[in-house]
Amino acid sequence: MWRRCAPPESPTRPSTTRRARHAAEPAHEGGQPLRILIVEDEPAIAAAVAASLAAEGHAVDTVADGAEAITWAETYPYDLVVLDVILPSLDGFEVCRRLRADGFAEPILMLTAVADVDARVTGLDHGADDYLAKPFAMPELHARVRALRRRQTAARSPRITVADLDLDPMSRSVHRAGRSIRLTAREFELLEVLARHPGRVFSQEQLIDAVWNADFDAESNIVEVYIRSLRRKLDGGRRDGLIQTVRGAGYRLHADPGTEP
């Protein structure tokens, strides 16, 4: 399982280009929009890539430093990392190696001005899924993102099981101890984030970023409202059921209901 470090107590957000993660209309590339982290220290390239991917309906964050990239990738549930090789602090090879060593399993697409075979081999050996040499055309970037998404979807288990809870992301159905539970689309998305990482504590800010992205700020009580609704449907409103509150930290889906967090 991917081990994620706790986010900084007062994280400094990098410069970001963001679109709502769940657009009213699907991206024209088809399929579910992705949450993408772009790691690139050339502002013009970072801005162009971010704008192009955001125009396809994806939610995009950008950082310009290797160490900062690791912190963000360990803190937020990204579906894809677009990673430059030449970076301050840590180069892209080392960032990729550390993420894989920590269990990050989502696709990593490396960008570099270095087009020689040895550099490509090094990137792939460190855990990259694909390689794109600069300069590149945006349509090729989009095609590679689509290919990585197809590969990711095929590899991911279609069902998620935690204790007696069963989620099917394909049909968006939920069952608890064999009982069918009807959830709204947003309730399902929130539950899926928690269920994909059982035992991991998510702060309110992380859940807002993962499910609502830029639609609400950290002062909103939207997470509390939806957690209350999920508890009512899953646990009969109990606070010691599957969804637990970790005081001062956030929420988690606990595989052993009834135990203290």
Amino acid at 151: R
pLDDT of residue 7: 38
Rounded to an integer, what distance in angstroms lies between the CA atom of residue 116 and that of residue 111? 13
Contact 207, 218 (CB under 8 A): no
Rounded to an integer, what distance in angstroms lies between the CA atom of residue 76 and that of residue 98? 16
pLDDT of residue 34: 87
pLDDT of residue 27: 43
16-155, which class in CATH? Answer: alpha beta
pLDDT of residue 227: 93
Contact 86, 39 (CB under 8 A): no
| CATH 1.10.10.10 location in the chain | 160-253
pLDDT of residue 217: 60
160-253, which class in CATH? Answer: mainly alpha
Q: Bridge partners of 175?
A: 166, 180
| CATH 3.40.50.2300 location in the chain | 16-155
Contact 95, 83 (CB under 8 A): yes
- Kindly report the pTM of this predicted structure: 0.61
Residue 251 φ then ψ, to 5°: -130, 155
pLDDT in tens, the chain (261 residues): 333 333 333 333 443 333 333 232 344 444 568 889 999 999 999 999 999 999 988 989 999 999 999 999 988 888 899 999 999 999 999 999 999 988 888 899 998 876 667 777 787 788 888 888 888 999 999 998 988 887 766 555 578 899 889 998 877 889 998 899 999 888 998 999 899 888 889 988 888 877 776 555 656 788 899 999 999 999 886 766 889 888 888 999 987 655 444
